[in-house]
Structures are given as structure tokens and as C-alpha cells.
Amino acid sequence: MSNKYYYSLELLRKSTSNDEDFLQLMIKTFIETNRKSIDELKVAIENNNFKLIGEICHKMQSSYKHLNVSFVIPILEELAQYIYSDGNMEEATSYFNIIDDVSTHIFSELNTYIKQN
């Protein structure tokens, strides 16, 4: 069974040329920008704004792919399609709960990494 909370810093390490300061900057940026996006996503769902849901998820994809957050990536791709046509609000809410749960867990682990390094 795949680990729901799986992510990897391998690609990010390569992209930051193994510079620890650069790596930590990117980890902090990942946490900050996506915390904000998740808050915006919650509001977009409350307002039944499909297009905005799609746009936010489209934007989140880049950084989640960079950290290979494999459980959430397909969900973001699915919701990103809401840019083109109305989706299903029940589905969006369920998906949001997963994104929020997984992301909160990962943010916590990443913060621990920063403190320890």
C-alpha cells in the first residue's frame, strides 16, 4: 500500500545543487505558498467557484510535482480540469480534505527537517 504522506526532496536537492541554504529556502517557500493556496482553495469551494478551484490547483501542481507528493498530484490534476468545465462540489470537498490532511502532515515533517538542519 502506498504511503499517503510520501514526498521526496531528491529533485529539489538536485535543483538547488545540494546547497543546504537554498534547499531550506525552497522548503520554506513550498510551505508558505501552499498553505496560502490551501486557504484560498477552501474559500473557492465554499463559494462554489469551479474556475478558481481549477486555477489554484493548476498552480499548486508545480511545487507538489517537484517534491513528488505522489498521493496529491493526481488529485490536483483532476481538480485543475475545473478551469475548463464545472465539476462536482462534493468531489471537490472530498479532495480538498485529502489535500489538506496530506499537506499538513508534510508541512510538519518539513518544518522538523528545517529545525534539525
Partner 1 sequence: MNHILVIDDDTYICTLLEKYLKKNGFSVEVAYTAKVGLAQIKKQQPNLILCDFRLPDADGKEMLKSIKEIDSRIQVIFITGYSDVRVAVQLIKSGAYEYVTKPIFPEEILNLINSALKVKSSGDNKSDSSKAQQVHISEEKFSNRFVSGVSTKFLDVMKHVSLVAPTELAVLIQGETGVGKEYLARAIHEQSNRSNMPFVAVDCGAIPKDIANSELFGHIKGAFTNAIANKDGFFEQANGGTIFLDEIGNLSYEIQVKLLRAIQEKVITKVGDSRTIKVDVRVVAATNEELQNAIADNSFREDLYHRLNEFSLRMPPLRERPEDVIEFAHFFLKMGNKELNRNVKAFHPEVIKKFETYAWPGNLRELKNVVKRSCLLCSGDKITIDLLPEEIIKYDATEATLDTDNNGLKSAIVTAEKDAIMDALEKSKFNKSKAADLLNVDRKTLYNKMRLYNIEA
Which three cell numbers, joined as nine digits, stand for 102?
496530506
Binding residues for partner 1, how many (CB under 8 A)?
A: 24
41-100 binders of partner 1 (CB under 8 A): 58-59, 61-63, 65-66, 77, 83-84
Residue 23 Cα to chain centre, angstroms: 17
User: What's the closest the beta carbon of residue 107 comes to partner 1, in angstroms?
Assistant: 14
Interacting residue with partner 1 among 10, 32, 91, 109 (CB under 8 A): 32
CA distances for 96 relative to 7, 27, 29, 31, 75, angstroms:
18, 22, 21, 17, 9
Q: Which three cell numbers stand for residue 80?
A: 485543475
Give the integer Cα–Cα distance in Å for 50 and 112: 35
Which cell is 103 given?
499537506
Nearer to partner 1, 32 or 39 (CB): 32
Q: Which stretch binds partner 1 (CB under 8 A): 14-22, 40-48, 95-103, 106-114?
A: 14-22
Q: Is 64 helix (H, G, I), strand (E, B) or coil?
A: helix
CB nearer partner 1, residue 4 or residue 28: 28
Residues contributing to the site for partner 1 (CB under 8 A)? 11, 14-17, 19, 22, 25-26, 29-30, 32-34, 58-59, 61-63, 65-66, 77, 83-84
